[in-house]
Amino acid sequence: MAQQSLTFQGVKNADQVNKITTALMMLEGVDSAEVGRHGADVDGRVKREALINAVEKLKLGVKVS
């Protein structure tokens, strides 16, 4: 199992954190995701690009790196 970290800019509230958490956990290959306002640590076998795309698809105005 691999761990990847994402950094967020622009997450404003708990509702956005919850939406990001759900989007990441729905991805095939994600075993766990610890998400906060400033980033996420994701465990599992999933490509980084898939994680970033999942957050961007939410159209929350959050910058992901």
- Which residue reads 């995701």 in tokens? 33
Residues spanned by the domain of 55: 2-64
What pLDDT score does 25 carry? 98
Rounded distance between C-alpha atoms, residue 8 and residue 51, angstroms: 12
Is a pLDDT exceeding 90 seen at residue 55?
yes
User: Global pTM?
Assistant: 0.94
CATH number at residue 23: 3.30.70.100
Is a pLDDT exceeding 90 seen at residue 38?
yes
Which band of pLDDT confidence, cut at 50, 70 and 90, is reported for residue 50?
A: very high
Is a pLDDT exceeding 90 seen at residue 7?
yes
- In the structure encoding, which two tokens stand for residue 46, read together? 């999933």
Task: Encode 4-39 in three state secondary structure.
Answer: EEEEEECCCCHHHHHHHHHHHHCCCCEEEEEEECCE
